[in-house]
Structure 1
Amino acid sequence: MRKIVLFIAIITLTFITACNSAQENKEKDKKANEAGDAQETIVYESETGPIEVPANPERVVVLSSFIAGSVMASDVNIVGIDSWSNDNPRYEPYLQDAKEVSEESLEQILELNPDLIIATPDSKNLDKLKEIAPTVTYTYGKVDYLTQYLEVGKLLNKEKQAKAWIADFKKRAQEAGEKIKAKIGENTTISVIELFDKQLYVYGDNWGRGTEILYQEMGLKMPEKVKEDALKDGYFALSPEVVPEYAGDYMVFSKNSEQDNSFQETETYKNIPAVKNGRVFEVDGKAFYFNDPITLDFQLEFFTEKFLGE
């Protein structure tokens, strides 16, 4: 009888111990899960002041086309993207799983469950976007193009990576520039002209389209008329008949194959010396618009090949 009672007592004690252990493990798992759900954050000094953002964002919505490439270059997952960026062929490999959204498609953005949103100060619904996720805005041209990438690197906790790329890029671009000047001459001029939505533009040294590389890093010359009219604002609208006045010894001609490019069939265009001498480099405007690391690497490769055959 005593043996039976003792056996029952042992079984009961074992059962209670097992239950207590299971409960303790459940509590530990719950705490671990709660800790995992609590995302680590950093404080980023944005244009509008300090803002708490994820230390390692995993679901980013980018509503600013001039920032998108910098986010991609930072190896951060983009779940929502603006239409201009989504139309850029250079960005396609980075946007396989991203949905096209705008600042007005709040429900779509909410469904994407972002942990960070990047926009511009004039984006609509900023207050509502901030309710969905921490929202950081950038103003185009507030800082120079390389500092802009560095700022994005700081936001995404990839500052070291950004600094390394910037140093390497400047070195590569400047070395290529020296070779190009040695080949075409120190005083040879280059202009960057674009036909966009039936309007012609010439660009200064800080409005994408490869201008930062050609003029800032390579130190190549722009025509005097371009300096006078486009350098301050970054671009200048042209009527077709005055294009020859802004054309350099070489021309980078940016265009969109889906738009009307009949200007190139006119006598005005055909009689430009750079055209007659075969010194026009045509580029896909959609791929050449911006000045982020992905686009800059592509532009540098393009110029090196066209000028040097490398």
Structure 2
Amino acid sequence: MKRTKTMKRLLMLAGMAVLTVTLAACGSHSAKTTSTTATRTVTTSGGSVKVPVHPKRIVTNVYTGDVLSLGGHVVGATSTDLQSPYLSKKTRAGIKDLGLTLKQEAVLKLKPDLIVTSNEADVKALKKIAPVVYVAYGSTGDIKQTATKFGNLINRKAQATDWIKRFDQQAKTQASRLTKAGIDPKKTSVGLFDLQNGKLFVDGAKWGRGGQALTTGLGFSLPAAFETLDQGAGYKQISLESVNKYAADWLFFSQTTGTSQDKSALSDLKRDPYWRKLAAVKANHVVQLPFNKMYYFDPDAVYGQMKLIVDAMIKAK
């Protein structure tokens, strides 16, 4: 009898011990969960936002390449971003195509812990799903500043520093190729032109089209008329009569669309007397680049554009 009571007491004590260990384990698990969802505050174009210390499921609009360039994990992005030739098939396959805009229902299904967008309206529409970082287009500075900014936003500062080092080395390598070919970037100006729907535009260095690869990367300079664009909208439609105001030692242009109207406009441009009078045109220092490879402006795109530009310049020369 006494032995039976003793056994019952031992079983009760053992049960209490197991319960104590279980509770301790639960407490440890809770602490771990809290640490993985810890937040920090970052400054955005829309103000201060609390974001995860280590975001693991990011949805992006416009800035997909910027996040991926630093090793961020993107689970959903807009279709335009995913068409970038600088993304591998494997990378694209792992990202949900959300169409042209970030729709609430589609974003919600992905359970993101961070949303990065250039569309200010996304903040109000999506902030109940996850923290929304609004980055106004053209507000990130040159490509090195862009890498640094996104390195801070997604807490990948070391990766941003490493990318800048690789970028500087590639820029040095490509600039050296130009020098050997008789082109000194430090003494050469460049101009950026874009044909869109039959209309002629000029672009600043922060409007894609290879602007950052040419300037921050290879070290070319922009004439004052082009630099002014970066202080405003970043681009401007011009007439052929005023094209001389945007003259430069080398001219680069791409076509945003490939309609018959654009093809006709390109043919007209090459025959136009105002265009033909430009010194760069007479010297055959005009480079036409594929729009799909020049449109994107994220770190990896700009990195790749430098060699593309140098190859085309050496061939033209």
TM-score, normalisation: structure 1: 0.80
1:74 maps to 2:70: yes
Measured in 2, the distance between the counterparts of 1:228 and 1:14 equals: 84
CA displacement at 1:303 relative to structure 2: 2.3
The reply on whether 1:83 has 2:79 as its aligned counterpart is yes
Match of 1:204 in 2: 204
Equivalences for residues 124-139 of structure 1 within 5 A: 124-139=121-136
3-state SS in 1 of match to 2:207 = coil
Count of residues in correspondence between the two structures? 301
- Asked if the contact 2:287–2:313 (Cα under 8 Å) also holds between the matched residues in 1, the reply is no
**Matched residue SS, 1:194:** strand
Structure 1 residue 299 corresponds to structure 2 residue 305? yes
**In structure 2, how many angstroms separate the alpha carbons of the residues matched to 1:156 and 1:190?**
34
Residue 32 of structure 2 corresponds to 36
Structure 2 partner of 1:163: 161
**CA deviation after TM superposition for structure 1 residue 103, in Å:** 5.6
Q: CA deviation at 1:114?
A: 0.9
1:13-52 counterparts in 2 under 5 A? 13-38=9-34, 39-52=37-50
User: Following TM superposition, by how much is the alpha carbon of 1:46 offset from its aligned partner in structure 2, in angstroms?
Assistant: 2.9
**How far is the alpha carbon of 1:305 from its aligned partner?**
3.0
Match of 1:283 among 265, 268, 289: 289
Alignment of 1:1-310 (within 5 A): 5-6=2-3, 8-38=4-34, 39-63=37-61, 65=62, 67-93=63-89, 94-101=91-98, 105-120=103-118, 122-145=119-142, 146-174=144-172, 176-181=174-179, 183-186=181-184, 189-222=189-222, 227=226, 230=229, 232-233=231-232, 234-239=234-239, 250-255=250-255, 258-260=258-260, 261-263=262-264, 266=267, 268-269=269-270, 272=276, 280-308=286-314
Structure 1 stretch displaced more, 78-87 or 27-36 = 27-36
TM-score by length of structure 2 reads 0.78
Kept in 2, the 8 Å contact 1:255–1:284? The answer is yes
Q: For residues 228 and 86 of structure 1, do their structure 2 counterparts lie closer, same or farther at Cα, with a shift above 3 Å needed?
A: closer
Provide the rounded CA distance (Å) in 2 between the counterparts of 1:75 and 1:188: 35
Instruction: Quote the Cα distance in structure 2 between the aligned partners of 1:179 and 1:128.
Output: 49
Distance across 2 between alignment mates of 1:54 and 1:232 = 33
Aligned mates of 1:184, 1:232 — CA distance in 2? 32
Contact 2:42 2:153 (C-alpha < 8 Å) held by counterparts: yes
Structure 2 gap segments, 5+ residues each: none
Q: Counterpart of 1:252 in 2: which secondary structure?
A: strand
CA distance 1:276–1:107, shift in 2 (3 Å): same
Deviation of 1:259 (Å): 3.8
Report deviation, 1:257. Answer: 6.8
Q: Which amino acid is 2:210 matched to?
A: G
* Higher alpha-carbon deviation: 290-299 or 247-256: 247-256
The structural deviation recorded for 1:78 is: 0.9
- Percent identity, aligned pairs only, is 24
DSSP 3-state at the match of 2:72: coil
Residues 204/184 of structure 1: CA separation in 2 closer, same or farther (3 Å cut): farther
**1:7-35 deviation line (CA, Å, top 9, x unaligned):** x3454244324422332333234323323
Following TM superposition, by how much is the alpha carbon of 1:181 offset from its aligned partner in structure 2, in angstroms?
4.4
Q: Describe the shift of the 1:126–1:228 C-alpha distance in structure 2 as closer, same or farther (beyond 3 A).
A: closer
Structure 1: segments with no counterpart, 5+ residues: none
Q: Name the Cα RMSD after superposition.
A: 3.3
Three-state SS of the structure 2 residue aligned to 1:131 is: coil
Per-residue deviation, residues 171-198 of structure 1 (Å, max 9, x unmatched)? 4324533542453444555433223344
For the residues of structure 2 that align with 1:104 and 1:168, how far apart are their CA atoms?
32
